[in-house]
Chain A
Amino acid sequence: MAQVDTISLPAREAPVAVDLAAAARNERLIVLAWRAGITVVGLALWEFASGRLIKPFWISSPSAIWAQLVDWCVTGELWLHVQVTLAETLMGFVFGAVSGIGVGLALGLNKRLAAILDPFIIAFNSLPKIALAPLFILWFGVGLMSKVVLATFVVFFLVFYSTYAGTLAVEQELVDVLRLMGGSRWQIVRKVILPSVLLWIFTGMKISVPYALICAVVGEMMASNKGLGYLIQAAAGQYDTNGVFAALFVLMVIATGLHAALKLSERLMLRWKEDGG
């Protein structure tokens, strides 16, 4: 009996294991097929409804939006606006992230400074920051600068908070182990605190990317003569729905691209998390 069992067991299990891999592949294909289906059906319905059920004035149509995009590409107009919005977003993101990480670490490592500044930080952070846009436009003009400052301000607070919370969440036991090994303060910061906080910093940065883009676009909509926000505002002002939708589509592509880039860099930098239990 026992012998029969030991022989028959692997034979019974082997096909099951193969099936699991095939099933996982199948599941992925099904998901992809559904996504493609939803996209195609959605676009087809939109195209059909436009002009038949609803006036194109309200909802435009995929083909008209495509034509508009092609037109903008040919004239080179699109690239100009994309460049401006991207520059504002990236500059705001980089300045905000760098200063947020710096101040977050400084306060995290200096408890007294953190205690002193606490009420000021809470006061500034509870302000709806978009409301500062008119002030920044007043101070820095309608050009690039006012949008960069707004995005920097918003990104700073998001990254700062996340970094600061990360320094508070560092496990004291890990710090103690290194202290007992004779580690200096600076060694502990470099080998324990910074790597622990890195995860939090990344979270803060990931959250803040879309906000940087929002700040750039909102700033452009308020006062500007370049950028995708301006393009949307200008198109809407001329009742040009095609233009509005086309600009929104470009924004969507940019936001998705930024998110993907950040996710990739996180995967590369936090390799130890991957097989995490």
Chain B
Amino acid sequence: MSDAPLIEYRGIARQFASRRGTVVACEGVDLSVRQGEFLAIVGPSGCGKSTLLNMAAGLLKPSAGRVFYRGAPVAEPNTLVGYMTQRDTLLPWRTVEDNVAIALELRGQSKTERHRHAHDWIKRVGLSGFETAYPAQLSGGMRRRVSMARTLAYEPETILMDEPFGALDAQLRLVMHDELLKLWAATGTTMVFVTHDLTEAITLADRVAVFSARPGRIRAIETVDLPRPRDVFRIRFDPHFGELHDRLWRYLEESVRGDIMVG
């Protein structure tokens, strides 16, 4: 892990026009993502967390400020990042293997080569035997695994994840955390992981950035100095995890409670 920022947000603000006037999603955001780190962004819903990911992907421009990737303004779109969104973006008319292999297909790899590569990833996410199934035939958890395999299979330098496991039940989520950490450890990819779940953020990340309610601002950035590899099923009961959680929850609580009172 080097200290040179891979992604840098400088003085970012973003407004959206809505029927009731202008909504400020986030403002005054300065944030650096280091190469190879696992950064989690936590905050209440609607605080502009996804907005930040869209900016790093070059899909959205900030209203003010600039986003840099490797020191240069972000390309539109930024093809150095992989993006795993909360919603399913598998292509429903493609089988599991053809979904996982799509990025390799776009790069012109031969069919045998990309299928071999895809099968390897399908095996790694525990879906062997489902290579020729269509997404509609899979459960929600299995579809998430396919999305994960698809994003990891073409080895983008950075992976952006927007509440990727938000729709899964608590047990399945833990299993997915375990798999994600193992796969991540083997690749060394830079991860930016957005969630509203503080426990999830601390379990996975090297650093956690806490956002306030809208307009989203950074309240605190905390380093998670829990050793790796982590046992995602038990790490919550580690006393140090509890301390970190308490400290970060204090920042988060104000925004969450404030959000309820404002409505």
Contacts and interface: CB of A to CB of B under 8 A. Distances in A.
For the side of the interface on A, what is the size category?
Answer: 20 to 34
Nearest to A183: B106
Nearest to B87: A173
A85 to B, nearest CB: 36
B136 A180 contact: no
A181 to B, nearest CB: 4
A277 interface: yes
A177 B89 contact: yes
A195 B85 contact: no
A180 B57 contact: yes
B237 interface: no
Contact of A180 (B78, B87, B93, B105): B78
Interface in A182-230: 182-184, 187, 191-192, 195, 198
Interface string B101-143: 0110111000000000000000000000000001011000000
Majority-rule SS of B interface residues: loop
A36 B107 CA distance: 58
A191 B91 contact: yes
A272 B102 CA distance: 17
Nearest to B59: A176
Majority-rule SS of A interface residues: helix
Contacts of B77: 176, 179-180
A57 B196 CA distance: 78
Contacts of B107: 182
- Chain A CB within 10 A, most for which of B105, B106, B156: B106
Contacts of A195: 91, 93
Interface string B74-111: 00011101110101010111100000001101110000
Nearest to B98: A191
Given A181-B79, A187-B106, A275 B136 contact: yes
Contacts of A10: none
Contacts, number: 63
Contacts of A273: 92, 136
B245 to A, nearest CB: 33
B249 interface: no
Nearest to A181: B103
B154 interface: yes
A178 B151 CA distance: 11
A272 B134 contact: yes
A38 interface: no
Contacts of A270: 93
Contacts of A15: none
- Chain B CB within 10 A, most for which of A180, A184, A195, A273: A180
Contact of B136 (A182, A183, A276): A276
A275 B134 contact: yes
Nearest to B138: A277
Interface of A: 171, 173-174, 176-184, 187, 191-192, 195, 198, 270-273, 275-277
17 contacts: A173-B85, A174-B91, A176-B57, A176-B83, A177-B83, A180-B81, A181-B102, A182-B79, A182-B103, A184-B106, A187-B106, A192-B91, A272-B92, A272-B93, A272-B94, A273-B136, A275-B134
Given A171-B89, A192-B91, 10 more contacts: A173-B85, A174-B89, A176-B57, A180-B57, A181-B106, A181-B154, A182-B106, A191-B91, A273-B136, A276-B136
Leading 9 A-B pairs by shortest Cβ distance: A181-B103, A182-B79, A276-B136, A272-B134, A179-B77, A272-B93, A195-B93, A183-B106, A177-B89
